[in-house]
Structure 1
């Protein structure tokens, strides 16, 4: 996918599930996105600091630093220095996916995807 200036859009996929990241990477690459991956919030923040991304596809419930912690860190930055966040969650043992996503929305996530989601929902969220 390209932006208005014709440059490829870039996405960072942040999820602790290797298979899920692989599927998302393949889908986004086929839609002409530049894609990088991170397995947790710490790695995501490092990559966000090193490279600018158009969009961060961010799992909310992960071990180590989770997506909510990433959002809290990004909230400290000026609006112009924050990537657009598409939050995703399927829930966990202590919280539902819907609740996790509502928390993410309150912390600045622009789009919400409840796992499992369709390819159509993914493409719409990435626009």
Structure 2
């Protein structure tokens, strides 16, 4: 048999809900940064594993995280490589191109995927970390 319990939303609960409404962007931002940190750290490790002994480490240093932005109603951040004027290695090759060549290979270079590997390895961990951050922030708000 189903059980129904009464819930009276008092003034204290309404205050907490309104606080949640004002703090939701901060909560989302903390959760996204926590999740993107997991991805960036693992991607850095995976990238270092596929680099040759002759590598200078420039590509690893070029790896970074974009600021969180609102795109199409969703908060997003990306892990990627420097672009623009400072997005080139000492040979004048774009970091993004180097990473793409490593990930997908070319007709003369064997592919050494690290992005796909990272995403497969971190998907569940990112969900867990983001859920923990949201739960922790909710506990702070709702007490």
TM-score (norm 2): 0.25
| Higher share of residues assigned helix | 2
Which of these two proteins has the greater Rg computed from alpha carbons? 2
The structure with more strand, counted as a fraction of residues: 1
TM-score norm. by structure 1 comes to: 0.27
